[in-house]
């Protein structure tokens, strides 16, 4: 096999060409020839013998280069207006090149560039079907399909459904017959490439992989195929077929890159764990939006005799589960999973627990609970429970400690294989737009990750200087928006869209979207999805009228202040590619899988004041992973906007490159949140509360363990990072045993046992200190209060609990919230309005301070959509954030806690009250914006 | 190859001038005419006597004649691949491949070679039409994969591997593919002009063509233009197509 020796240079040239630059003096014809030459080198019989090797980067590198070169040339041909016949042929070659190395998602993404009905002749149709088997249904309907080609496609279809090897064995010979019947050299060459692609399709077939497995697994496989996923990705095949990952029982850390197919691997492991019969699998998701995607996948793929439960939100154990008799899969937030495990005694039936986005372990707000929850599961394994723990992450790179934590035989399922290319660039204040080599496999030897692949001179239209002074930031902000808008339009022209612009605050999403829209022309015709959004705003959300103007120009913003229905409509429009530019907070960037071609990170500094710091490289990687979705695109570009506003220790010209390099670097090993000393006082208190609550759970779950505090601390991830958390556990244990305020939570028998108070506390999910406060409140409750009055009093009593991490609510409860329309006296009214389903804008303008506002634009005018005001909009942001969390999540949790504690407070008023009804009155009043709680709010930032 | 080849009989006579091969009928144009008719008669059917010669058939016949010249030329070929040259009387002209000759050296693979022949047929006196040969060779390293050298080699290699079950030869053929003209050490070009004999100067025109092809990056020594000249070429081609002497 003779390969051209300059294919890396050619790939780099093609990548540079796509980005508007000449990388080297290499002609288009030469690049084309290099790509074709590589494909030719893999058309012989020898390539058929090395299919699995072609899933390894080193072996597949030439084909990867060929595919990328052809894809770049295709874009170039389209931009230069070459004849459709030529671009179609280039497209088919690019798709075949991807398929030859088993990268079927990218082959499918390339094929999106052409209309399948324009395919000319049998060879092109067959090649298209092989490169993208999920297009078979469409291709079989083509009228232009000749009889022999139809028969062949039917054979392929039949194999993909049944997995029968007999059928597979007829495919290649009949493909050769079809090839020999054609006279065109291009068609012949296409057939030659398609043969290797066909071998990949057969090798990667889902049905084939599950042939001979249990009926349950086969039924699962059938549904996966029916859902138009007939083939595994190479790393999935390697894990599931070659390494029998699903059948094994060891814990595992799966660190495949974005779009590497982690979820399906977890699904296989879940299916296998439930294959033998009833039981329960828990899939923990940190974001509700991600949960929605997982539930959709599970519902589609699992047979009807499996029940899928979506359990999101705060601490709540309610669920219709029967793992004794049914196969149950629970997709839950960490809080719901925690509650289920404590209250429902599920360990006996637990077969597997999957933690998606496991790097959330490092998140200051939620990491402690997740770490402790995993530690509880590890402790259960230590005492002999038989279930499997699987951690998934696309962004972790150093996981030795994580694997150690999960046990000596832990499988680290890893692969560098990724279907799409990730490109990173920085648009510097100096006017240089620099794309970096990063860790791309096409980086030439001698070049480092931070070295420049291609650089353009693109001056900032509006000069901006670094500053951390608020007034100067305010004065320069329009200029920064204008620059970012210019960049977005430039990237769109260069690479195409849709484009996601990630902003640090809701206000920035609005401001940037407005600037972008002002610089774009009105679209002549609005697509139906856009008309639907506009209708919704005009009917139900007039305060968002300015968004209608933006939508007509292909721009939208997306943040937690928008009504949830509206957000869903916007997401649908993005899915349909009807919105070209979306300015969003990190919620969208981290959560939902939407088809963005490129991402611009406008704010690379997170937080405000002394707490401001560069975005973690984990977060940046996660955001970067959002663009270039597999199957939609073959590349995703993330551009860091060199934002110079903020703390000068990061934004000063001499320090900024170093700070930004930290953002772009490979993530370090995960840190344990519980043992992290570099946190704020509030965050430390929240961790102490979490530890207390988790220790209570552990006492109940592990009645035979002596010195539980030490046992628990030793099972934390922290202990495998060489850090001790024993002090915080000792303190928590002391609190549990403390009887100075009356009955303790536990008694120091040998081993420790929960008292009745402790048992009740365990059902609340709260810490010992918070339970004491709540018990004190309940003991003093004298009257059967109406819901609104009770809610207001409870919030004042519990709003400062460290377990809740909404800073606005804490200040509201403490009466220290300043410069806000919403005040402590409003809580009761808001509770009533919440339950009555009063629209949020109406609740907002009804606030006394809003009614008496002397601002130039009144909240009333703003809500009617007649005038815009960023000040009022910011007030509304804060209002929505606190109201949704308070009444949709926190207060129901507290009501349920009251129900759990009622038996131990000895107060007939408390005992007589139906706390569940109160909780449900809030929960069922409206669709709670559970995504809102995913967000690190502007206030906290 | 099922095509009736006239290997035994001499049809054309070669002269060398300025590095070009100048072919004419042996001993006369009419003799070549009649020999070609004899070959075509086995393939038939001819077009009817009143039907005019279309441009497509004219081109196909040019390729057919070039092929017949080649079959008598001292080319060391193992096999020939063509489309229009094998079916010159059909009123269809397939784009993408005129004639390709493969040579697999019996003892030393490094001597394997492929000849790419592009053919133009013209009745004009200026022979300007020959200039379009340059475009054909430019396409070998351009960006429409229908016409590239790599496509041509891969297509033929597929035929050899799957049709003739000679995967070994297919691999050897693919090894001849390169990524730019100057590195194509196993490729020879035969730009061929079938043209009017009387009043024309093919040497000047074909040397210009050779120079232009060299400018594309091809090594000059690997380009060997052919002139195939007939008296009253268009009338003669029309008569041949009709089966007339």
Cα distances (angstroms) measured from residue A708 to each of A627, A698, A726, B7, B146: 45, 8, 11, 97, 73
Confidence at residue A561, expressed as pLDDT on a 0 to 100 scale: 86
**Which residues of A are less than 8 Å from B164 in CB distance?**
none
Q: Is the pLDDT of residue A234 over 90?
A: yes
**Which residues of B are less than 8 Å from A2 in CB distance?**
174-175
ipTM for the predicted complex: 0.93
What Rg value do the Cα atoms of chain B yield, rounded? 17
Is cis: bond before A199, omega within 30 of 0?
A: no
Are the beta carbons of A188 and B179 separated by less than 8 Å? no
Q: Mean of the pLDDT values across residues A501-521?
A: 95
**Which residues of B are less than 8 Å from A28 in CB distance?**
142-143
Please classify residue A278 by burial: count the beta carbons closer than 10 Å to its beta carbon, then call 0-12 exposed, 13-18 middle and 19+ buried: middle
**Which residues of B are less than 8 Å from A82 in CB distance?**
143
Are the beta carbons of B155 and A37 separated by less than 8 Å? no
Which residue in B155, B173, B175, B182 has the most chain A C-beta atoms within 10 A of its own C-beta, making it the best mutation to test that interface?
B155
Confidence at residue B83, expressed as pLDDT on a 0 to 100 scale: 80
Per-residue pLDDT of chain B (245 residues), as tens digits, is 444 454 555 789 999 998 899 999 988 999 999 999 988 888 778 888 888 889 999 999 999 999 989 887 777 778 889 888 888 888 877 776 789 999 999 999 999 999 999 999 999 999 999 999 999 999 999 999 999 999 999 999 999 999 999 999 999 999 999 999 999 999 999 999 999 999 999 999 999 999 999 999 999 999 999 999 999 999 999 999 999 88
Confidence at residue A934, expressed as pLDDT on a 0 to 100 scale: 38
Structure confidence at residue A668 as a pLDDT band (50, 70, 90): confident
Measured between CA atoms, how close is B98 to chain A, in angstroms?
Answer: 11
Are the beta carbons of A29 and B152 separated by less than 8 Å? no
Confidence at residue A591, expressed as pLDDT on a 0 to 100 scale: 60
Q: Is the pLDDT of residue A24 over 90?
A: no
pLDDT in tens, A708-739: 999 999 999 999 888 888 899 999 999 999 99
**Which residues of A are less than 8 Å from B161 in CB distance?**
44-45, 192
pLDDT in tens, A132-189: 999 999 999 998 899 999 999 999 999 999 999 899 999 999 999 999 998 899 999 9
pLDDT in tens, A804-816: 878 899 999 888 8
Q: Which of A31-45, A67-81, A626-640, A741-755 has the lowest mean pLDDT?
A: A741-755
CA distance A702 to A706: 9
Are the beta carbons of B162 and A34 separated by less than 8 Å? no
pLDDT in tens, A700-713: 999 999 999 999 99
Structure confidence at residue A589 as a pLDDT band (50, 70, 90): low
Measured between CA atoms, how close is A445 to chain B, in angstroms?
Answer: 22
Q: Is the pLDDT of residue A23 over 90?
A: no
Which residue in B118, B145, B176, B186 has the most chain A C-beta atoms within 10 A of its own C-beta, making it the best mutation to test that interface?
B145
**Which residues of B are less than 8 Å from A174 in CB distance?**
none
Are the beta carbons of B150 and A36 separated by less than 8 Å? yes
**Which residues of B are less than 8 Å from A193 in CB distance?**
154
Confidence at residue A937, expressed as pLDDT on a 0 to 100 scale: 37
Kindly give, in sequence order, each residue whose CB lies less than 8 Å from that of residue A169, ignoring residues fewer than 6 positions away.
none
CA distance A757 to A750: 19
pLDDT in tens, B49-98: 888 889 999 999 999 999 989 887 777 778 889 888 888 888 877 776 78
Chain B residue with Cα closest to A92 = B145
Which residue in A30, A31, A33, A93 has the most chain B C-beta atoms within 10 A of its own C-beta, making it the best mutation to test that interface?
A33
Is cis: bond before A332, omega within 30 of 0?
A: no
Measured between CA atoms, how close is A631 to chain B, in angstroms?
Answer: 25
Termini Cα distance of chain B: 27
Chain A residue with Cα closest to B162 = A176
**Which residues of A are less than 8 Å from B178 in CB distance?**
4, 33, 37
**Which residues of B are less than 8 Å from A6 in CB distance?**
179
Q: How far is CA A529 from the centre of its chain?
A: 24
Are the beta carbons of B174 and A43 separated by less than 8 Å? yes
CA distance A702 to A379: 8
CB pairs under 8 A between A and B: 116
Structure confidence at residue A941 as a pLDDT band (50, 70, 90): very low
Measured between CA atoms, how close is B245 to chain A, in angstroms?
Answer: 32
Q: Order the strands of the A279-284 sheet from edge to edge.
A: A306-311, A327-332, A279-284, A350-355, A388-392, A252-255, A411-414
According to DSSP, the β-strands at A598-601 and A499-502 are parallel
Are the beta carbons of A179 and B162 separated by less than 8 Å? yes
Structure confidence at residue A358 as a pLDDT band (50, 70, 90): very high
Which residue in A66, A186, A195, A196 has the most chain B C-beta atoms within 10 A of its own C-beta, making it the best mutation to test that interface?
A186
Measured between CA atoms, how close is B95 to chain A, in angstroms?
Answer: 8
Measured between CA atoms, how close is A147 to chain B, in angstroms?
Answer: 21
Confidence at residue B2, expressed as pLDDT on a 0 to 100 scale: 42
CA distance B221 to B113: 14
Structure confidence at residue A935 as a pLDDT band (50, 70, 90): very low
CA distance A301 to B14: 73
Are the beta carbons of B145 and A82 separated by less than 8 Å? no
In chain A, pLDDT over 70 holds for what percent of residues? Answer: 98
**Which residues of A are less than 8 Å from B156 in CB distance?**
185, 188
Q: Which of A157-161, A327-331, A536-540, B50-54 has the lowest mean pLDDT?
A: B50-54
Are the beta carbons of B155 and A186 separated by less than 8 Å? yes
Which residue in B102, B162, B164 has the most chain A C-beta atoms within 10 A of its own C-beta, making it the best mutation to test that interface?
B162
Confidence at residue A751, expressed as pLDDT on a 0 to 100 scale: 85
Confidence at residue B78, expressed as pLDDT on a 0 to 100 scale: 81
SS3 A938: coil
**β-strand partners of A605:** A614
Chain A residue with Cα closest to B146 = A186
Return the DSSP state at B159.
I
Q: Mean of the pLDDT values across residues A759-781?
A: 95
Confidence at residue A819, expressed as pLDDT on a 0 to 100 scale: 85
Confidence at residue A317, expressed as pLDDT on a 0 to 100 scale: 83
Q: Is the pLDDT of residue A78 over 50?
A: yes
Are the beta carbons of A29 and B161 separated by less than 8 Å? no
**Which residues of B are less than 8 Å from A89 in CB distance?**
144-146
Nearest CA to A371 out of A66, A628, A690 is that of A690
Closest CB to B148 among A33, A85, A192: A33
Cα distances (angstroms) measured from residue A113 to each of A74, A95, A307, B202: 9, 10, 39, 46
Q: Is the pLDDT of residue A594 over 50?
A: yes
Measured between CA atoms, how close is B20 to chain A, in angstroms?
Answer: 28
Confidence at residue B9, expressed as pLDDT on a 0 to 100 scale: 56
Are the beta carbons of B146 and A36 separated by less than 8 Å? no
Q: Give me B62's structure tokens.
A: 């040019």
Average pLDDT across chain A, whole number: 92
Q: Which strand (E) or helix (H) includes residue A137?
A: helix A136-139
Cα distances (angstroms) measured from residue B221 to each of A327, B66, B108, B214: 76, 21, 21, 9
């Amino acid at each position: 096999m003779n390969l051209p020796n300059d294919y890396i240079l050619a790939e780099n040239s093609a990548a540079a060409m796509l980005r508007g630059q000449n990388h080297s003096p290499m002609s288009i014809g030469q690049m084309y020839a290099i790509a074709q030459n590589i494909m030719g080198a893999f058309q012989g019989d020898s390539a058929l013998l090395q299919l699995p090797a072609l899933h390894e980067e080193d072996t597949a590198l030439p084909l990867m280069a060929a595919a990328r070169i052809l894809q770049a040339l295709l874009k170039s041909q389209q931009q230069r207006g070459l004849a459709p016949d030529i671009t179609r042929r280039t497209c088919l070659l690019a798709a075949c090149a991807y398929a030859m190395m088993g990268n079927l998602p990218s082959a499918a993404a390339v094929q999106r560039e052409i209309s399948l009905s324009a395919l000319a002749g049998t060879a092109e149709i067959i090649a298209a079907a092989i490169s993208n088997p999920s297009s078979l249904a469409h291709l079989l309907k083509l009228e232009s399909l000749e009889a022999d080609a139809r028969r062949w496609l039917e054979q392929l279809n039949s194999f993909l459904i049944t997995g029968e090897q007999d059928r597979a064995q007829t495919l290649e010979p009949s493909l050769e017959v079809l090839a020999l019947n054609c006279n065109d050299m291009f068609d012949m060459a296409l057939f030659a490439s398609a043969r290797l692609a066909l071998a990949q399709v057969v090798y990667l077939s889902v049905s084939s992989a599950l042939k001979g497995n249990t009926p349950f697994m086969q039924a699962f496989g059938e549904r996966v195929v029916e859902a138009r996923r007939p083939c595994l990705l190479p790393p999935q095949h390697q894990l599931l077929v070659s390494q029998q990952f699903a059948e094994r029982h060891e814990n595992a850390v799966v660190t495949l890159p974005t779009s590497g197919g982690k979820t399906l691997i977890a699904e296989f492991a879940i299916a296998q764990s439930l294959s033998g019969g009833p039981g329960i699998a828990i899939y923990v998701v940190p974001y509700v939006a991600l949960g929605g995607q997982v539930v959709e996948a599970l519902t589609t793929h699992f047979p009807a005799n499996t029940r899928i439960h979506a359990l999101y939100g705060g601490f709540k154990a309610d669920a219709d589960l029967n793992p004794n008799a049914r196969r149950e899969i629970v997709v839950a937030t960490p809080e719901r999973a925690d509650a289920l495990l404590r209250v429902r005694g599920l360990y006996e039936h637990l077969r597997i627990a999957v933690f998606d986005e496991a790097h959330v372990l490092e998140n200051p707000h939620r990491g402690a609970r997740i770490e402790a929850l995993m530690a509880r599961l590890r402790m259960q394994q230590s005492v002999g429970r038989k279930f499997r723990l699987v951690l998934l992450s696309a962004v972790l790179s150093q996981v030795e400690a994580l694997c150690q934590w999960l046990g000596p035989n832990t499988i680290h399922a890893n692969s560098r294989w990724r279907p799409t290319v990730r490109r990173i660039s920085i648009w510097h204040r100096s006017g240089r737009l620099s794309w970096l080599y990063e860790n791309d496999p096409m980086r030439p030897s001698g070049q480092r990750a931070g070295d420049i692949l291609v650089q353009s001179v693109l001056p900032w239209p509006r000069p901006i200087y670094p500053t951390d002074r608020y007034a100067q930031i305010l004065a320069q902000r329009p200029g920064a928006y204008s620059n970012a808008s210019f960049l977005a339009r430039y990237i769109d022209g260069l690479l195409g869209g849709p484009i996601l612009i990630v902003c640090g605050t809701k206000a920035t999403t609005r401001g940037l979207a407005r600037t972008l829209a002002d610089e774009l022309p009105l679209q002549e015709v609005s697509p139906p999805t856009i008309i639907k959004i506009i209708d919704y705003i005009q009917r139900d959300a007039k305060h968002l009228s300015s968004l209608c103007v933006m939508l007509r120009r292909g721009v939208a913003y997306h943040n937690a202040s928008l009504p949830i229905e509206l957000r869903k409509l916007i997401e649908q429009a993005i899915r349909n590619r009807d919105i070209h530019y979306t300015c969003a907070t990190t919620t969208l960037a981290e959560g939902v899988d939407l088809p963005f071609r490129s991402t611009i990170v406008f704010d690379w500094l997170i937080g405000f004041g002394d707490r401001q710091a560069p975005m973690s490289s984990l977060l940046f990687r996660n955001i970067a992973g959002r663009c270039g979705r597999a199957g939609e695109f073959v590349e995703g570009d993330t551009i860091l906007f060199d934002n110079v506003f903020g703390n000068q220790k990061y934004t000063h010209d001499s320090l900024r490159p170093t700070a930004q390099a930290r953002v772009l670097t490979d993530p370090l090993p995960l840190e344990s949140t519980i043992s992290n000393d570099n946190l704020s006082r509030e965050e430390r208190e929240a961790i102490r509360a979490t530890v207390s609550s988790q220790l209570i759970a552990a006492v109940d779950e592990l009645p035979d363990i002596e010195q539980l505090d030490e046992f628990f601390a030793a099972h934390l991830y922290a202990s495998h990072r060489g850090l001790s958390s024993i002090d915080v556990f000792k303190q928590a244990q002391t609190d549990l045993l403390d009887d100075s305020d009356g009955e303790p939570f536990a008694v120091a028998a040998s081993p420790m046992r929960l008292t009745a108070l402790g048992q009740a506390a365990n059902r609340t999910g709260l810490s010992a200190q918070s339970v004491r406060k709540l018990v004190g409140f309940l003991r003093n409750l004298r009257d059967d209060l109406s819901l609104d009055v009770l809610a207001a009093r409870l919030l004042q009593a519990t709003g400062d609990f460290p377990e809740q991490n909404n800073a606005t609510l804490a200040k509201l409860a403490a009466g220290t919230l300043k410069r806000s329309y919403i005040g402590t006296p409003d809580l009761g009214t808001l509770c009533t309005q919440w339950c009555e389903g009063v629209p949020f804008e109406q609740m907002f303008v009804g606030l006394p301070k809003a009614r008496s506002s002397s601002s130039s634009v009144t909240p009333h005018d703003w809500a009617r959509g007649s005038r815009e005001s960023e000040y009022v909009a910011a007030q509304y942001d804060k209002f929505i954030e606190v109201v949704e969390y308070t009444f949709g999540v926190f207060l129901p949790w507290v009501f349920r806690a009251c129900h759990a504690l009622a038996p131990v407070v000895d107060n007939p008023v408390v005992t007589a009250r139906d706390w569940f009804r109160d909780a449900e009155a809030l929960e069922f009043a409206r669709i709670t914006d559970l995504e809102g709680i995913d967000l690190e709010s502007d206030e906290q930032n | 190859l099922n095509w009736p080849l006239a290997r035994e009989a001499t049809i054309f006579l070669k002269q060398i001038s300025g590095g070009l091969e100048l072919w004419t009928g042996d001993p006369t144009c009419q003799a070549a005419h009649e020999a070609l008719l004899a070959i075509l008669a086995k393939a038939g059917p001819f077009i009817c006597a009143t039907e005019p010669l279309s441009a497509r058939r004219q081109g196909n016949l040019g390729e057919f004649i070039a092929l017949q010249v080649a079959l008598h030329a001292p080319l060391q070929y193992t096999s020939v691949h063509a489309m229009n040259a094998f079916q010159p009387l059909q009123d269809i002209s397939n784009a993408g491949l005129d004639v390709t000759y493969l040579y697999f050296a019996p003892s030393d693979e490094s001597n394997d070679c492929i000849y790419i022949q592009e053919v133009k047929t013209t009745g004009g006196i200026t022979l300007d039409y020959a200039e379009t040969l340059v475009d054909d060779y430019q396409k070998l390293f351009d960006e429409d994969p229908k016409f590239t050298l790599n496509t041509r080699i891969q297509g033929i290699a597929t035929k050899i591997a799957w049709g003739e079950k000679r995967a070994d030869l297919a691999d050897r053929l693919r090894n001849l593919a390169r990524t730019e003209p100057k590195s194509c050490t196993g490729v020879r070009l035969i730009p061929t002009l079938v043209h009017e004999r009387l009043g024309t100067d093919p040497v000047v025109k074909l040397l210009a063509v050779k120079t232009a092809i060299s400018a594309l990056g091809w090594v000059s020594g690997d380009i060997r233009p052919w002139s195939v000249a007939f008296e009253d070429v268009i009338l003669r081609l029309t008569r041949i197509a009709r089966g007339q002497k």
